[in-house]
Chain A
Amino acid sequence: MGIESALGDGYFTTKIDSLTNWARSNAAWPMPMGLACCAIEMMAFAGPKYDAARFGSEVMRFSPRQSDVMIVAGWVNYKMSHAIRRIWDQMPDPKWCIAMGACASTGGMHRCYGVVQGCDNFLPVDAYVSGCPPRPDALLHALMKIQDKIRTEHSVMLDT
């Protein structure tokens, strides 16, 4: 169809969006923001049993400059929120955020003055994981949701 018939064998055509989204979705490098018990489950998510490497996400980057997905794992208190926001701001665009567990999503059982009642108060969250703490496969599910989201994104501006 179309241009492919003119190019002959060995070529195929696609949209640049599909290409970049395919590349981005299969190399979502996490920024582990481990703050409490959820962080242990997050380690298991990257470990051999659950193996986030299957999704291209095994490369936990401890530098924000090299990561795409921030996993906020644990309860966020007001003092810590400033550090988290700074790290988020240092991550290059495009970037995504997972609020892992009840505490990061809503404050969880820490219904008190010192804990931010959900990290979406200061971060744009893409996926929420329920559970306290959620199992590593729940976090994998959130990662897959983000991959779905990346695949349907329009990353390149259309000419008008």
Chain B
Amino acid sequence: MNLELSENLRNVVDQLSEQFSDALIDIYKSTGDTFIRVEPDHIVDICKELKEEYHFIYLADILGTDRFTSDERFEVIYNLVSLRDRERLFLKVWLEEENPTVDSVTEVWESANWHERQVYDMFGVTFNNHPDMRRIYMPEDFDYYPLRKEFPLLGIPGSIELPSSTPDTE
């Protein structure tokens, strides 16, 4: 690979690709950051390794995206930071449109809890072994996932209840 990586990241990437040779699909740089796409099945192992061996102790964010492609439609992006080495690393997994599911990384970073709930709320990606897989922004009984591309910008009329305009009699 001919990527201009810092010495430290180069080491991380080399070690990872040796250790998880089957799981790493793609490594590339974009807008100055390093992205690694991995197999969804190995995400927890890879995260654990990155945290314990390479000091990526800070999970800054977990994002979802809807690539709107016919296969591997959904993407989950993990934004990892090593505060000690001042490095940032993005992990990506691609998931199928039907029943998008990936293992939760809450056992690695506790902060993943809310981030994963956001991705679940907005995209409908479910996380296995998550301790509290509930919606976080939208009402519990909401039937849709608002950041999916087919969801209309203004929502679906009547899908969220407005308060009654006749006063409460209690």
A residues in contact (CB < 8 Å) with B: 78-79, 81-82, 84-86, 89, 111-114, 116-117, 121-124
A78 touching B162 in the complex, CB below 8 Å, given contacts A114-B137, A114-B146: yes
Identify B167's interface contact among A78, A89, A114, CB under 8 A.
Answer: A89
Nearest to B163 among chain A residues (CB) is: A85
A122 surroundings in chain B (CB, below 8 A): 162-165
- Contact mask for chain B residues 96-111; partner A; CB cutoff 8 A; 1 contact, 0 none: 0000000000000000
- Complex Cα distance, B164 from A64, in Å, reads 18
B3 surroundings in chain A (CB, below 8 A): none
- Please determine whether A121 and B153 come into contact, CB atoms closer than 8 angstroms: no
B162 surroundings in chain A (CB, below 8 A): 78, 81, 116, 121-122
Nearest to A112 among chain B residues (CB) is: B153
Interface CB pairs A-B, < 8 A, 11 = A78-B160, A79-B139, A81-B162, A85-B164, A89-B167, A112-B155, A113-B155, A113-B160, A114-B138, A117-B154, A122-B165
**Is B28 among interface residues, defined by CB-CB distance under 8 A?**
no
B146 surroundings in chain A (CB, below 8 A): 113-114
- Please determine whether A86 and B155 come into contact, CB atoms closer than 8 angstroms: no
- Complex Cα distance, B163 from A121, in Å, reads 9
- Contact mask for chain B residues 138-160; partner A; CB cutoff 8 A; 1 contact, 0 none: 11000000100001111110001
A121 surroundings in chain B (CB, below 8 A): 162
- Please determine whether A78 and B137 come into contact, CB atoms closer than 8 angstroms: no
Nearest to A90 among chain B residues (CB) is: B168
- Please determine whether B168 and A86 come into contact, CB atoms closer than 8 angstroms: yes
A82 touching B138 in the complex, CB below 8 Å, given contacts A113-B151, A113-B153, A114-B155: no
B163 surroundings in chain A (CB, below 8 A): 81-82, 84-86, 122
- Complex Cα distance, B162 from A117, in Å, reads 11
Distance of B148 from chain A, by nearest CB (Å) = 11
- Contact mask for chain B residues 109-129; partner A; CB cutoff 8 A; 1 contact, 0 none: 000000000000000000000
Nearest to B151 among chain A residues (CB) is: A113
- Please determine whether A113 and B168 come into contact, CB atoms closer than 8 angstroms: no
B138 surroundings in chain A (CB, below 8 A): 114
- Complex Cα distance, B146 from A113, in Å, reads 7
A113 surroundings in chain B (CB, below 8 A): 146, 151-156, 160
- Complex Cα distance, B165 from A124, in Å, reads 9
- Complex Cα distance, B153 from A117, in Å, reads 12
- Please determine whether B154 and A111 come into contact, CB atoms closer than 8 angstroms: yes
Distance of A106 from chain B, by nearest CB (Å) = 12
A85 surroundings in chain B (CB, below 8 A): 163-165
Distance of A15 from chain B, by nearest CB (Å) = 29
